[in-house]
Chain A
């Protein structure tokens, strides 16, 4: 079993839709949870991070962590074609630790 599981997609949605991206994990030591966005032929860029359980909102993006279920989500409201990218979840036990990445979910937002 992989430490982090993420549906590879692709996920195709119409413009304006609410998108839900998810990851499950098995290591209960993970404390920091990140979402990276990777456009084609580019390196990943940090989108959001959260510490422990709870929600964090940034504009159209909301990150949610449920440590009891070992489940994290990224919600994108009012999705735009510019959101079309691969989204990778990532997590670490604490600072200066090795990051464990999911395989990424490819999202396509259709105009």
Chain B
């Protein structure tokens, strides 16, 4: 299994500002995922981040709003830009279990609880 930490654990931000969320994994992994979890809704994949290449965004999510960096095999950041109250959510980082594992073995960080006022 992989141990994942996220910073910050929570934040309250003002409308129009940006927040960068950090994700650190205790082992090298090829694929990292960023999810959003809103109350009463399923986990929604924002993007897949592979080291050394541009992130792949899901429908409804764009790079200008959610820029992602993946500088190495253990670290990634997600920025929520020009925030609005609709961005209030829990943001989760996830990895698959090791370089050879299938994506059913996903491990999640503790999440970042974001509130936009």
Residues of A within 8 A of B (CB): 2, 4, 6, 8, 32, 34, 36, 41-46, 49, 88, 90, 92, 94-104
Contacts and interface: CB of A to CB of B under 8 A. Distances in A.
Given A99-B45, A101-B42, A102-B42, A49 B111 contact: no
A101 B58 CA distance: 15
Given A8-B40, A92-B104, 8 more contacts: A41-B110, A43-B108, A94-B102, A95-B104, A98-B58, A99-B106, A103-B42, A104-B42
B97 to A, nearest CB: 8
B103 A95 contact: yes
10 contacts: A43-B108, A44-B108, A46-B107, A88-B42, A90-B104, A92-B103, A96-B103, A98-B58, A101-B42, A103-B42
Interface in B58-102: 58, 92, 94, 96, 102
A46 B43 CA distance: 14
B29 to A, nearest CB: 12
B114 interface: no
B31 interface: yes
Contacts of B53: none
Nearest to A34: B104
Contacts of B96: 96
Contacts of B105: 46, 49
Contact of B106 (A4, A46, A103): A46
Contacts of B40: 8, 103
Contacts of A8: 40
Contacts of A2: 42
A101 B108 contact: no
A103 B45 CA distance: 13
Interface string B22-65: 00000000010000000011110100000000000010000000
